[in-house]
A = this chain, B = another copy of it.
């Protein structure tokens, strides 16, 4: 796909039509600009005044009947792009769908049609359904610059969207992409709003629920800023990038799957918005609700269990905040006709022991295999969520879900279902007794004797990330102590695994600055009252 043929200075080769004076030869520049289209124009390009263009926010590149918007970079090196060429970054080149040397034209981009609505939102106005449709369409079609995207995200942040606007936004996001239809009355899914390292309940909930016979076609994301997403962890065990036809067949046969959702064009505007929300660590209630619900509805779910963890270092820090968020999810789900059960959970510390793809896969398999070393908090939480999902089944009595889920897990039916899904997706070699962890490691010892009174989700995630997770699948943090556990001075709190010396060093420095653990007296542990 990424063909880096040398492109001759005179780019009107025999196989390509000759260039008109206003045309340039398109050239793939092998630079990956991370979701931002960039066009590269030589400073001395005779057809266009590169510098005049550059001050403007965007240019429009036309080739092959397609048009994309791009940021313009001016180039002073003919080895990167020649005077009669127009370079485009890797993603942008793929979007144009042409060969190197194809004629292309550039023009000053007209502002996106929805820019008026954007400015009204910036000015604090309430927007209507059509405004959101126009904005979301422009976003999905990559017509917004990073600056305009950020402006939309910030202007519709924190209390700036009322609940009906959140519904309009959600609906517009579903509309502008593909929407799956599984042709069944009940299609279930579970989702966590995120922020808790190690929280791999989906890989337990899906086999339990599918073993019960419910349809659970779970697609997950890869990690963006966390040390592992469900797709990264599942990939340790099986292939997760599946063509849609294959995925649908697996779901038909096995009632469930655990695949990567990135190829399905579900709620494409969401992927674009995330590219500015994540670096900014903005996760406002309105955007979170629209992002999650639009993806689920586009994926064809009819019923959803939503996990909202609460804790001092979780995304949601108080029960009051969790309840406000829950009401917003419920309002929009109701308007969108999605059955929703919100479960507020303990977010005071990571779930399970391992953080990082291989470590988390190990924990998941231990739970499925009823291994005595299985982390009990992961098992209990997965059973609770699976139980709530099972109660969407009209034949399951309210309150019986947990016990049914436990029976499915204890009997080995969940493990059998997981094995079947792994084989169907394409098993990867994985030895749970000798997982292939990073060859380099260090342990962090307790600085005092006492009881673990707090574990900082953010700092533990950061250390795992510095160690190389999720790209280095064997990297991460293995926790030896959890909240309430006693520890003697010098005893290890966790071990960090890495594959590269620079990663090990980054993570060691991070854990030295802040271990992520607090040790004190048992009564200092914060209490948390969550429903069960």
- Which A residues are within 8 Å of any B CB, using their own CB? 2, 4, 21-22, 29-34, 40, 43, 47-49, 51-52, 54-57, 72-77, 79-80, 89-90, 107-108, 119, 122-124, 145-148, 150-151, 153-155, 157-159, 224-225, 276, 278-282, 465-466, 468, 471-472, 500-503, 505-506
Contacts and interface: CB of A to CB of B under 8 A. Distances in A.
Contacts of A52: 465, 468, 471-472, 503
A76 B4 contact: yes
Given A56-B225, A108-B466, A108-B506, A73 B34 contact: yes
Given A34-B72, A146-B146, 14 more contacts: A21-B501, A22-B501, A30-B75, A31-B74, A52-B471, A52-B472, A79-B80, A107-B506, A108-B506, A122-B158, A122-B282, A146-B147, A147-B276, A150-B154
A281 B280 CA distance: 21
15 contacts: A31-B75, A33-B73, A34-B54, A49-B503, A55-B278, A56-B279, A57-B280, A76-B90, A108-B466, A119-B281, A122-B158, A123-B158, A124-B159, A146-B146, A148-B279
A158 B73 CA distance: 31
Most B CB atoms within 10 A — which of A158, A280, A506?
A280
Given A30-B80, A159-B124, A48 B150 contact: no
Contact of A80 (B31, B119, B505): B31
Contact of A40 (B2, B31, B72, B276): B31
A74 B122 contact: no
A276 to B, nearest CB: 5
Nearest to A40: B31
Nearest to A21: B501
A361 to B, nearest CB: 19
A278 B147 CA distance: 10
A147 B31 contact: no
A208 to B, nearest CB: 32
A468 B55 CA distance: 12
Contact of A73 (B32, B47, B80): B32
A51 B280 contact: no
A73 B281 CA distance: 21
A472 B505 CA distance: 52
B150 A147 contact: yes
A79 to B, nearest CB: 5
A52 to B, nearest CB: 5
Nearest to A22: B502
Contacts of A466: 108
Contacts of A155: 154, 157
